[in-house]
Amino acid sequence: MAVGIFDSGLGGLTVLDVAQKRLPDVDFLYFADSAHAPYGVRDADNIYDLTRNAVHDLWARGCDLVILACNTASAAALRRMQEAGVPDGKRVLGVFVPLIEALTERQWGDNSPPREVEVQHVALFATPATVSSRAFQRELAFRAIGVDVEAQACGGVVDAIEDGDMILAEALVRSHVDALKRKMPTPQAAILGCTHYPLLSDTFQQALGSEVKVYSQGDLVAESLADYLIRHPNMLGKGEGGFLTTGKPSVVSDRATQFLRRKINFEAA
């Protein structure tokens, strides 16, 4: 049983890369729905349908555990999928949980009332769909009070990354940070609420300033996955790993190789 990692495109590779280093004995099967990327400009029902189809595909391929390494899918589809019912022996997890655990310094299973936390002014950079869902704010409110979250929809950034135009992506990041700082001049922390954005973490940090703590999801998700597999060893096994895409494999392979700086070969899903 390989662990499935799903993303609308290449952003989830930032999670996969860290997870492979943290868990070298685990096989991973990566699924990129490149034909329908980016998800961030789609409506919630469309995102749900696409995510559900991909997750069911990964389950059918033997991935009993699937990680939604896509904030947009996590925001628009995860809770709805869980409420609809997950087949026995299957699991689907999102990327918000480790992030909120780190921000609030409390474990997800801690069901005590919300309390004040150290960070009170948080900038959230995410896709338009994630911002409009308010899923991050909703989950955070269950665990923390007194946190002011200012969300900035970063239109165009994912498209530029998927197209391999990093110069445009960096320019867009600086523009979005400027827009955020007009609304929240002095954030204490910044959430990179899209798994594509760690590819531009240095640009975000430079634009925000060294005094702002930038939370990126790769390390947090990998550590959370390692802990989950310790607690649920039945979800861990050997399986066929690899890379699948609904897009054109040669194009996606070239872009992925460029991002991770190692040879990546995608096959047609």
Each residue's pLDDT tens digit, 194-253: 999 999 999 999 999 999 999 988 889 999 999 999 999 888 767 789 999 999 999 999
Taking each helix axis from N to C terminus, what angle separates 13-22 and 249-260, rounded to the nearest 10 degrees?
60
Of 224, 244, 221, 234, which Cα lies nearest the Cα of 58?
244
- Contact criterion met (CB below 8 Å) for 124 and 240: no
Which residue has better confidence, 142 or 64? 64
Q: What digits encode the pLDDT tens for the residues 69-121?
A: 999 999 999 999 999 999 999 999 999 888 888 888 877 567 788 889 999 99
Q: Among the options 10, 13, 70, 220, which is catalytic? A: 70
Residue 35 has pLDDT above 70, yes or no: yes
Cβ(224)–Cβ(74) below 8 Å:
no
Report pLDDT for 96: 85
Cα 7 from Cα 67, distance rounded (Å): 9
What is the per-residue pLDDT for 109?
A: 66
Q: Taking Cα atoms as reference points, which of 129, 126, 163 lies closest to residue 10?
A: 163
Residue 63 is a catalytic residue: no
Percent share of the chain, pLDDT over 90: 80
Is 154 part of the annotated catalytic residue set?
no
What is the DSSP pairing of strand 189-192 with strand 267-268? unpaired
**Which neighbouring-strand residues pair with 67?**
5, 93
Q: Give yes or no for a contact between 162 and 70, defined as CB atoms under 8 angstroms apart.
A: no
Tokens 């954030």 appear where?
187
Rounded to 5°, angle at Cα 251 from 48 and 36:
15
Determine the average pLDDT of the residues in 23-35: 95
Question: What value does the mean pLDDT take over residues 31-50?
Answer: 96
Is the omega angle on the peptide bond into residue 38 within 30 degrees of 0, that is, cis? yes
Q: Where are the beta strands (DSSP E) in 132-251?
A: 144-145, 148-153, 189-192, 213-215, 242-245
The pLDDT value given to residue 58: 96
Region 153-177: mean pLDDT is 95
> For residues 244 and 267, is the Cβ–Cβ distance under 8 A?
yes
Q: How confident is the model at residue 243, as a pLDDT?
A: 98
Instruction: Give the other-Cβ count within 10 Å of 251's Cβ.
Output: 14
Closest CA to 188 of 126, 128, 135, 117: 117
Catalytic residue among 194, 212, 220, 269: 194
